[in-house]
Amino acid sequence: MLKARNQNLAFFFTCGLSLEKWSASGLLDREVALYNLLASKFSKIYFFTYGNKSELDFHKCLAPNIEIISKNSRLPDFIYSFLIPLYHHHILKSCSFFKSNQANGAWSAYLSKLICNHKGKFILRTGFTWSLFLKHENWPLYFLATILEAWLYPICDLALVSSPPDKAYLQRRYHLTSLKIKVLPNYVDTDLFKPQPDILKLKRTIVYVGRLYPQKNLFNLIRALQNTHLKLDIIGQGILKNKLEKFAQSLNVPVQFLGIIPHQNLPTILNRYKIYVLPSLYEGLPKTLLEAMACGLTCLGTKISGIQEVIQHNVNGYLVNPNVRSIHQGVQHLIQDEKLQVRLGYAARQTIEKKFDLKNIAKAEIAIYKSLSK
């Protein structure tokens, strides 16, 4: 345990994000679950968000000693992010740890340490490595992200990343020692996400959960299902919804767009399916994959960094290339072999319990705070 019920943690949201936005996207319960467990080890945890006073309505979802510090300013989010240490100096000076949610906005955590308590520890946590994503999505922002990372990583007290490939990339690019950066995987609440054998499974229907963005390679997934007589249910939202809908209709592939499903309802929905597919072109450590595996689904993913760290081919899931032919062959192979589905689904659940369980990740993070307190 921490020394530590007399220590406070300041947690800084990604620039522009809020509890309200997490709630609207169905992610609130998932995102706060870790902090509700960590709260018992701190006197206070402060959430610095970019929402308005309505953020306070979410207190009911949080441990009693988690306090929401909302924006309550008309300043643009980016400018406000630099002024957080000045606006909230009286709170931040009492904090021993300053933790970011992502690289975008992590400067608020560092500046708070610098201005309010230089003896505190700046923890640069990132669920995915920003520059790696932007390299695929936005070249101008990619260069800005590399400048930001080149500044923040050397000066942080500890960097937390979700996967070994991210650690290797950051160590190589920014010349970090192994003591400076640790892998702390994304987590799953395995008490919530678990097999529910009494739920009747849908036949010849597969499911995808996630954003509807180019990264997810959904056009190739739909192409791969042409003439298979399989149905695809898509859970999530994003900029490609209308295009994907029209594309599926043009190929006569039955696709149902289910929109956003609240996180607490997702386990019951996932348990209606046998096969989950994640055809991404690039990933961090995808939480939706971990949740599907925790429910005992047979999971098919692409051979890319982030997915390969979770799925071992033909051991606890199935790996394919991100092209149409490979996805098609993989789905067909799984749908025709029910014994294989059962074996992979069971092994998937075991993997999540062993490596990605929420309680174990929380214990590992507590150990990190304890080591930084010495």
Please state, as a whole number, how many other Cβ atoms lie within 10 Å of the Cβ of residue 259.
10
Contacts of 259 (CB under 8 A, 6+ apart): 235, 236, 237
Digit-by-digit pLDDT tens for the chain (374 residues) are 454 557 999 999 999 999 999 999 999 999 999 999 999 999 999 999 999 999 999 999 999 999 999 998 999 999 999 999 999 999 999 999 999 999 999 999 999 999 999 999 999 999 999 999 998 888 889 999 999 999 999 999 999 999 999 999 999 999 999 889 999 999 999 999 999 999 999 999 999 999 999 999 999 999 999 999 999 999 999 999 999 999 999 999 999 999 999 999 999 999 999 999 999 999 999 999 999 999 999 999 999 999 999 999 999 999 999 999 999 999 999 999 999 999 999 999 999 999 999 999 999 999 999 999 88
In whole angstroms, how large is the CA radius of gyration of the chain?
21
Residue 272, classed as helix, strand or coil, is coil
Q: Domains, the chain, ranges and CATH?
A: 8-187+357-373 (3.40.50.2000), 205-355 (3.40.50.2000)
- In 170-320, DSSP assigns E strands to 181-183, 205-209, 231-235, 255-259, 275-278, 298-302, 318-320
> Which residues is 97 bridged to in the sheet?
9, 121
Residue 355, classed as helix, strand or coil, is helix
> Which residues is 234 bridged to in the sheet?
208, 257
- In the chain, DSSP assigns E strands to 8-12, 44-48, 66-69, 97-100, 121-125, 158-161, 181-183, 205-209, 231-235, 255-259, 275-278, 298-302, 318-320
Asked whether 96 and 10 are in contact (CB, 8 A), the reply is no
Helices 338-355 and 287-294 sit at what angle, rounded to 10 degrees?
Answer: 110
Helices 324-335 and 338-355 sit at what angle, rounded to 10 degrees?
Answer: 100
The pTM for the full model equals: 0.94
